[in-house]
C-alpha cells in the first residue's frame, strides 16, 4: 500500500468520482493508499474538462496540509469493464480506423442527458455528431461548449461523426 508519493513519481490510478460542476473529484492509486484530490484545473491543463468514474489516469501527486492532490495529468484512459477489458477494446473500437487523422475541433454543444452533441472541426463548415458512448470510450463524462478537442471523424449515415475523442493537443502532436 502506497503511503507516500514522491513529487516526480508518476502514479497510476482510477477515478473514484469527479463532479465537473463542483470542479473536483478523487482518484485512487492502483497500489492503494489514501484518496487523491483531482481538481478541475489539473484536468484543464491536460486539455480536458471532465473524466468519467473508473477512468484510468497517470498523474503526479503532491502532499498538502489536507492530503494528496494531483499536480499534473499525463494520461487518461477508458475504464476497465467487468470482464477486465479496456472499454475501448470492445467491438466498436475494432471498427475504428486509427489511420483516420485527428482533427482539431471545438465543442458546439453537448447535452449529457440527451447523450449527444456536436463539434466543429477547424476550417470545415459542417457539424460533427458526438455520441455519449464515444466520450465514455475516451474516459470522459461530458464536454463543455467551446471546449477544444481532437477527434477522428468518419462519414456516417447521417453525416460526419466522431469515433474517437482526445485532448486537442493530440492533434498537434500527430499532425
pLDDT in tens, the chain (175 residues): 445 777 778 999 999 999 888 999 999 999 888 999 999 999 988 888 888 889 899 999 999 898 999 999 998 888 876 555 554 444 444 345 667 888 999 999 999 889 899 999 998 999 999 999 888 888 888 899 999 999 999 988 888 999 989 887 766 666 5
pLDDT score of 105 = 93
Note whether 28 and 13 are within 8 A (CB): yes
Instruction: Give span(s): CATH 2.40.50.140, the chain.
Output: 10-77, 103-172
* Residue 80 main-chain phi, psi, to 5 deg: -90, 135
pLDDT score of 175 = 56
Closest CA to 16 of 54, 62, 50: 54
Alpha helices in 49-160 (DSSP H): 91-95, 132-138
pLDDT score of 37 = 96
CA distance 144 to 124: 20
Which CATH code is given to the segment(s) 10-77? 2.40.50.140
pLDDT score of 6 = 74
pLDDT score of 92 = 44
Q: Is the pTM of this model over 0.75?
A: no
CA angle 112/75/61 to nearest 5° reads 105
pLDDT score of 21 = 83
- Report, at the CATH architecture level, how domain 103-172 is classified: Beta Barrel (2.40)
Amino acid at each position: 500500500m502506497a503511503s507516500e508519493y514522491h513529487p516526480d513519481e508518476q502514479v497510476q490510478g482510477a477515478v473514484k468520482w469527479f463532479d465537473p460542476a463542483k470542479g473536483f473529484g478523487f482518484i485512487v492509486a492502483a497500489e492503494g493508499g489514501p484518496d487523491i484530490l483531482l481538481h478541475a484545473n489539473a484536468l484543464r491543463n491536460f486539455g480536458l474538462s471532465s473524466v468519467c468514474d473508473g477512468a484510468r489516469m497517470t498523474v503526479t501527486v503532491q502532499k498538502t496540509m489536507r492530503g494528496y492532490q494531483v499536480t499534473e495529468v499525463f494520461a487518461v484512459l477508458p475504464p476497465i469493464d467487468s470482464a477486465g477489458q479496456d472499454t475501448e477494446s470492445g467491438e466498436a473500437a475494432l471498427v475504428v480506423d486509427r489511420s483516420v487523422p485527428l482533427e482539431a475541433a471545438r465543442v458546439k454543444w453537448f447535452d449529457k442527458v440527451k447523450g449527444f452533441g456536436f463539434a466543429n472541426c477547424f476550417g470545415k463548415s459542417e457539424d460533427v455528431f458526438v455520441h455519449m458512448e464515444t466520450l465514455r470510450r475516451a474516459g470522459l463524462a461530458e464536454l463543455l461548449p467551446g471546449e477544444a478537442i481532437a477527434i477522428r471523424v468518419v462519414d456516417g449515415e447521417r453525416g460526419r461523426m466522431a469515433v474517437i475523442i482526445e485532448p486537442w493537443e493530440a492533434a498537434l502532436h500527430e499532425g
